[in-house]
Structure 1
């Protein structure tokens, strides 16, 4: 009887043999039989979205001709022209291919660019000496507690909107300015606080960030953004997580906020499972106008 470790090893061996030898000759044979390259077959055989772009991404990453896709639209178009030249694809014979390939490249490079933008925002440390940061924090209080005035900048009142200490800046250590900005996104989507709003919101920011970093959000963005995703789309994804978590929390009926970590992980698993659907679309209609 083959053990799980042995099956895993056999899987690694097969993957190595396939990617190193068989895949090349299989592609060559099909090219000779159909007169089209792998990327042409991917673009013509799949509708726009995650399936098509993911297959194109795998094909490009597996190609023996390694290249930089570029991050600007002009560079991406130039890369598309270069690929067509290398693959000997004639525009007159396949007039739709170039535009389909261009969209795939925009989505692939755009996902990487989005991560850089989000990471830069996360790395920006909240500073009480920065007037813009302080103004944003005080505005958050006014939005959430419009009829209550703060006694002082450092006060236990911050606990009323879910911060853990007397000074909110300590709660932003992990997610930086990204955590603060996202707390503004769901204003109006959730009618009242069922838990520690601020710290739960920052936790959900970490969830969105980790899903982006791992690449698990690619299918969602490939299905919903026909080009380069921007920070706006990431904030909309956060809105989805916050709104769905709120519904999830109510449906699960936890005994107390002390069980938050347990239910957070359960919700995280649900989201990751949904992201495995090639047609996934984690978009809130209520958020699309923000």
Structure 2
């Protein structure tokens, strides 16, 4: 009860006067202090978190400066710093919408672009082996469950396929290396199915907001779809390293190790300087 009373008194009265006193002493509002004292990245943007719209970003920055009585000539860096924070905040929301749209888009065999993307995945991973037909058991060689991969995309829609292709196209050597591990007679796992599972992991981390520190630390502006795909590449490559190092008894223990890896990633994301960036060089 005492704790509740103290919280009420602090929130209602003391916090206002404390902020007022600090402003009188420093000559800066709280947002100015955040932007000047915190280095660019997750810590600064999280503390400066504001609700705004990307459509009126410039107007929003000017309005904030006006309301806070911030003079550009006295704090020339404030406007640029605040602008980056707002770009990151609004950009994260926009990125989620874009990712969600791809997740909801159903893979269709009647769509030439979808089909071309699927065949491209095969060619990138198995350049020396020709598909006998569109529907074939050969798809199992790159980790699909049935003769027609389209059934495996039901959960993550087109997003799952795009992630697989992006990794294979931009990190071809690494993707083929991961595939070779996945086809190991003892430590093997279903490459494509696990890849789609990792898409679900990336999607859930984005949806929950857990990826904010990563994007705020690595993108000094608006995070876009390619940045999400890059994050997926990190998960695909690092999960393979994790799986091989753990040496599971069989694929039957996949869920157990998947959750262990998920916990490692979430723990890393709680660090102020979190950055889930694949350190190997991409082709592009």
Could you state the TM-score of these two structures normalised by the residue count of structure 2?
Answer: 0.89
Q: Which residue of 2 aligns with 1:4?
A: none
> Cα distance, 1:12 vs. partner?
7.5
Q: Which residue of 2 aligns with 1:227?
A: 221
Count of residue pairs brought into register by the alignment: 271
> Cα distance, 1:17 vs. partner?
5.8
Q: 2:58 aligns with which of 58, 77, 81?
A: 77
Q: Which residue of 2 aligns with 1:45?
A: 37
Superposition pairs for residues 151-190 of structure 1, below 5 Å? 151-187=132-168, 188=172, 189-190=174-175
Contact in 2 for aligned 1:106/1:228 (Cα 8 Å): yes
Contact in 2 for aligned 1:236/1:287 (Cα 8 Å): no
Instruction: Give the root-mean-square deviation of aligned CA atoms.
Output: 2.0
Contact in 2 for aligned 1:239/1:287 (Cα 8 Å): no
Q: Distance in 1 between matches of 2:3 and 2:228?
A: 35
Q: Distance in 1 between matches of 2:259 and 2:163?
A: 20
Q: Distance in 1 between matches of 2:152 and 2:93?
A: 27
Q: Distance in 2 between matches of 1:153 and 1:28?
A: 69
Q: Distance in 2 between matches of 1:201 and 1:20?
A: 50
CA spacing shift, 1:115–1:252, aligned 2, 3 Å:
same
Of the structure 1 ranges 187-196 and 161-170, higher mean CA displacement relative to structure 2 is found in: 187-196
Q: 2:47 aligns with which of 50, 55, 74?
A: 55
Q: Distance in 1 between matches of 2:162 and 2:4?
A: 43
Which structure 1 segments of 5+ residues have no match? 1-8, 61-67
Could you state the TM-score of these two structures normalised by the residue count of structure 1?
Answer: 0.87
> Cα distance, 1:23 vs. partner?
3.2
Q: 1:126 aligns with which of 100, 103, 107?
A: 107
CA spacing shift, 1:104–1:256, aligned 2, 3 Å:
same
Within the alignment, does 1:112 sit opposite 2:93 as a pair?
yes
Within the alignment, does 1:263 sit opposite 2:257 as a pair?
yes
CA spacing shift, 1:199–1:37, aligned 2, 3 Å:
same
> Cα distance, 1:179 vs. partner?
0.3
Q: Which residue of 2 aligns with 1:282?
A: 276
Contact in 2 for aligned 1:208/1:238 (Cα 8 Å): yes
Q: Residue 81 of structure 2: SS of its match in structure 1?
A: helix
Within the alignment, does 1:23 sit opposite 2:15 as a pair?
yes
